């Protein structure tokens, strides 16, 4: 009798244990965050991971009854690694969402996995226009290079800049920046006298900048990915381009808030166009910058951080709308059409394109209390990616 009771108790305990285990699994919502945490793009990974963790700290880690689990993987910005990690996250970890993607090749390499597994893929950094067309499961919270470049090509000719040399990193976003800046500048009566491209990996800007100095344009337009701006700025000064009266302009990637403060006086006066500045004067942004800095030893958030923070918002809210139920398609539906206030300003996930619609600002680097900031002086409201119209 006693033995039977004992066995019964074990059986019950086993059932209870299995039920708890299943419940635990069903109640977990996994986000696979693939980022470059080491190598050339490491600052992108550091910024996005910090922002994602801040979002979770501020908004809790339980949403619609699910416990959020963030699984961070380092792809060292090599697209083969991104794809392999995405595959493992989907097959082994059974993640509900893939997120991150520091550079365009990483996002493009992962797109087929998102499609085949019907896993929503939130692109928080990469910014080539065509990315959202690579899979119907991609949603973007960063920006696009056409979006940022066109605004500057409208501003330049009205401000005495007619002859421009362009200098871009030779891959997706750089080619987008070059093309959309040039087309719009020509439309506005300006001209691009030379279009220079530098390699993405280990670029040496010096010989290119020497060429620009000899060509003496009114301005040099630059796109380099986050993390490379300081090297451009240093070489620009060392080659004496500023002294030769050549203006430096570009998308805000070149005056990246992650590095700006250490760039020195050569950066003062540089005009860029972008979707986010740590100096954006809204109450929400002030709170964001303060909390981010406090949680990360004084680090200033850059546009990558804001892409990560808003990406988490998009995931959390989609999970709420789908009430924690349903698979990738239900989540995706909850991501489309979200409209909300971000630290960057108002933003919108276009339900048709799954791409971000947002304000683009013109900014000038200014020194305030000894610190360098991208100070916004004009805004173009609700800019859709011009790349989608073609």
Residues that bind ligand DHB (CB under 6 A): 44, 103-104, 125-128, 172-173, 225-226, 253
In the complex, what is the shortest distance from the CB of residue 67 to ligand DHB, in angstroms, rounded to a whole number? 32
Q: How far is the CB of 323 from ligand DHB (least distance, A)?
A: 34
Q: How far is the CB of 10 from ligand DHB (least distance, A)?
A: 56
Q: Which is nearer to ligand DHB, 126 or 246 (CB)?
A: 126
CB of 173 to ligand DHB, least distance (A): 4
Q: Which residue is nearest to ligand DHB (CB)?
A: 225
Task: From residue 166, give the alpha-carbon distance in Å to each of 130, 193, 196.
Answer: 21, 8, 6
Nearer to ligand DHB, 79 or 324 (CB): 79
Rg of the chain, C-alpha, whole Å: 23
Work out how close the CB of 101 gets to ligand DHB at its nearest, in angstroms, rounded to a whole number.
8
Residue closer to ligand DHB, measured from CB, 178 or 218:
178
Residue 134 Cβ vs ligand DHB, minimum distance, rounded to whole Å: 12
Neighbours of 343 (CB within 10 A): 23
**Choice between 131 and 185, CB closer to ligand DHB:** 131
Contacts of 30 (CB under 8 A, 6+ apart): 69, 71, 89, 93, 94, 95, 96, 97
Cross-strand pairs, 138: 121
CA 77/CA 18 separation, integer angstroms? 40
Residue placing its CB nearer to ligand DHB in the complex, 30 or 140: 140
100 or 225: CB nearest ligand DHB: 225
Residue pointed to by tokens 């279009």 = 195
In which residue are the tokens 């050569």 written? 266
Nearest to 287 by CA among 8, 55, 20, 17: 55
Give strand pairing partners of 247: 219
H or E segment to which residue 169 belongs = strand 163-169
Nearer to ligand DHB, 205 or 316 (CB): 205
> In this structure, what is the dihedral angle of CA atoms 96, 65, 311, 109, given to the nearest 10 degrees?
0
Q: What is the Cα–Cα distance from 335 to 321, expressed in whole angstroms?
A: 9
Shortest spacing between CB 109 and ligand DHB, in angstroms: 12
């Amino acid at each position: 009798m006693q033995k039977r009771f004992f066995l019964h108790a074990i059986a019950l305990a086993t059932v209870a244990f299995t039920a708890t285990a299943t419940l635990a699994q069903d109640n977990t919502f996994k986000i696979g965050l693939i980022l470059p945490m080491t190598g050339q793009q490491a600052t992108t990974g550091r910024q996005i991971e910090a922002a994602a963790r801040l979002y979770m700290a501020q908004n809790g880690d339980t949403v619609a009854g699910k416990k959020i689990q963030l699984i961070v993987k380092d792809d060292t910005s090599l697209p083969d690694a991104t794809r392999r990690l995405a595959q493992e996250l989907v097959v082994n970890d059974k993640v509900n969402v893939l997120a991150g993607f520091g550079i365009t090749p990483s996002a493009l390499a992962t797109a087929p996995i998102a499609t085949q597994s019907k896993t929503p893929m939130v692109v928080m950094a990469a910014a080539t226009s065509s990315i959202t067309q690579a899979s119907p499961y991609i949603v973007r919270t960063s920006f696009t290079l056409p979006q940022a470049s066109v605004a500057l090509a409208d501003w330049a000719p009205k401000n005495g800049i007619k002859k421009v040399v362009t200098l871009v990193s030779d891959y997706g976003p750089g080619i987008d920046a070059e093309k959309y800046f040039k087309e719009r500048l020509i439309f506005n009566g300006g001209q691009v006298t030379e279009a220079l491209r530098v390699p993405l990996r280990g670029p040496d800007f010096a010989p290119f900048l020497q060429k620009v100095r000899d060509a003496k344009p009114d301005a040099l337009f630059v796109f380099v990915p986050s993390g490379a701006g300081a090297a451009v700025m240093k070489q620009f000064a060392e080659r004496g381009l500023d002294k030769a009266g050549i203006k430096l302009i570009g998308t805000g990637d070149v005056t990246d808030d992650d590095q700006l403060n250490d760039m020195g006086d050569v950066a003062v006066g540089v005009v860029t166009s972008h979707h986010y500045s740590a100096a954006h004067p809204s109450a929400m942004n002030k709170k964001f910058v303060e909390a981010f800095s406090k949680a990360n030893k004084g680090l200033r958030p850059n546009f990558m951080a804001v892409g990560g923070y808003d990406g988490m918002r998009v995931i959390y809210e989609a999970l709420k709308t789908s009430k924690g139920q349903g698979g990738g398609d239900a989540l995706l539906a909850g991501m489309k059409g979200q409209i909300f206030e971000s630290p960057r300003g108002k933003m919108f996930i276009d339900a048709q394109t799954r791409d971000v619609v947002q304000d683009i600002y013109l900014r000038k680097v200014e020194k305030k209390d000894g610190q360098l900031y991208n100070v916004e002086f004009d805004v173009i409201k609700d800019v859709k990616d011009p790349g989608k119209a073609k």
